[in-house]
Amino acid sequence: MEKLDEIDGQLLKLLGDNSKLTIKELADRVHLSHTPVFERVKRLESNGYIKKYIALLDAEKLNYGLIVFCNIKLKQHDKRIGHEFVTDILRLDEVVECYNISGDFDFLLKVYAKDMKHYQDFVFNKLGSVTSIGSTHSTFVMSETKNTYNVNF
């Protein structure tokens, strides 16, 4: 892994805060000319430090205001069951994030739903059809205090 310098860190922070910044705007903020900033950003992208640029959507304004964290316990732990679970989860539009975790549960899902009825339908008809799941536990978000994708280093 290459060592990132302070300028790389500044560029990553700036782009993490606002990925729509132009090369000119980035160059002005890190006090370099356009060419080295362009080359640095391209290097950060090609080396995987920047995975992609996205628009962070407001789920509530899009009528998906119910956020649920759903803990999943698999029926059993083997390679086939794990792969089957991941394949099935990737097909569910309501699941916006999925993490393989340690502890009492095997996976943590972040789910967006329109309301409780929509979530109930999701659990019974979509999540319920995932045969590798042994049990679930849902936690409902009352309010969001912080949401950032920036990584400080």
pLDDT tens readout for residues 95-123: 999 999 999 999 999 999 999 999 999 99
Domain that holds residue 31: 6-46
> Total domain count for the chain?
2
Integer Cα distance of 64 and 61 in angstroms: 7
- Other beta carbons less than 10 A from residue 126's beta carbon: 17
Q: Are residues 40 and 98 in the same domain?
A: no
CATH number of the domain residue 16 falls in: 1.10.10.10
39 and 71 together in one domain: no
51 domain-assigned: no
Three-state SS for the chain is CCCCCHHHHHHHHHHHHCCCCCHHHHHHHHCCCHHHHHHHHHHHHHCCCCCCCCCCCCCCCCCCCEEEEEEEEECCCCHHHHHHHHHHHHCCCCEEEEEECCCCCCEEEEEEECCHHHHHHHHHHHHHHCCCEEEEEEEECCCCCCCCCCCCC
| pTM metric for this prediction | 0.86
Q: In the prediction, which pLDDT does 141 show?
A: 97
Q: Looking at residues 67-73, what average pLDDT do you find?
A: 98
Domain with residue 96: its CATH number is 3.30.70.920
pLDDT at 2: 78
Q: Dump pLDDT digits (tens) for 139-152.
A: 999 999 998 888 87
